[in-house]
Amino acid sequence: MYVCSCFGITEQQVKQHAEAGLGTPRQIASACKAGTDCGGCVRRIQALLGRGDCPRRQLLESRKDPADSLSGAEPVAAPATAVPPLSPTAPVVLPEAA
């Protein structure tokens, strides 16, 4: 069965690449171009590699608030060169070039 119709790559070819040590969709793409044209086969390639969904996305979705991972950490102060937010009514004044 074809996985990538853009380049005619079959499930068997993807499995052969995986057995040869290619373990990510990007590595498979480098070997045979599957997933580099329309991208419609990338999820199928992930499934064939046993990866399922994107691990980063799962990690982000599992967190209620990304700040939770900083438990006990002190807030980081803005650098001294930070630009203060503009007021919607204040005119914008740009510094003159030296």
* Predicted local distance difference test score (pLDDT) of residue 59: 62
1-39 pLDDT tens trace = 999 999 999 999 999 999 999 989 999 999 999 999 999
**Could you tell me the sign of the dihedral formed by the alpha carbons of 40, 45, 46, 47, in that order?**
positive
Structure tokens belonging to residue 78: 């803005």
Secondary structure string (H, E, C) spanning the chain: CEEECCCCEEHHHHHHHHHCCCCCHHHHHHHHCCCCCCCCCHHHHHHHCCCCCCHHHHHHHHCCCHHHHHCCCCCCCCCCCCCCCCCCCCCCCCCCCC
41-97 pLDDT tens trace = 999 999 999 876 555 556 666 665 555 555 555 666 656 665 666 556 666 677 777
pTM listed for this prediction: 0.52
* Predicted local distance difference test score (pLDDT) of residue 97: 72
